Structure 1
């Protein structure tokens, strides 16, 4: 796929082969009900953020990104470095911030922390930035 097309996909993941030991592990993982509750809580935060518009973070335009995706100094430094090192486009810049906002919402955080931003950046395609 071309760079501009890949740039329109928010999350890129490479899924490695799962080893037998991990599959045979009998310890329970996180229950689906817990994941669902976390997603519902994040959706409720977004509903309050955007009012009756039924918008989600992914629907934000540039002005809304500026209003709702503010970073502290450390976050600004990380994003500036990522923009330069990964050669991020303006579209990628906004997509990373919207994804970081969603990750923060899922974590129950009002602010986007550096860890949320770093996680969002790791979902960019490695070959194009």
Structure 2
């Protein structure tokens, strides 16, 4: 049974992956790869044709960096929403992020502190895959 999240630790930094192999290893659909990984790989050139997407070779390090870039943005937006809505009590906020709302607010302007907060979040909160986008087994 597929998990509701995927774990980038399944990708080895020094290995090479095609789009298909990365999707198989991470157990995600190609559209998820395109949305989360391909759009965030810095070495990917807009000049490449759509056929190159399917034949391109990516390093594990590129894939991991792209995942981290995507989720840093994703979690920053989620953190901003949680801070602005006041729907979470201080206790619930601490349970979710392992920091106080005041510390989280101050970390928004410092990427290193923000990354530190996100490293303490359980993997199932940090790497969610939107419902309906998991591979069917």
With structure 2 as the length reference, what TM-score do the two structures score?
0.28
Tell me the TM-score normalized by structure 1: 0.29
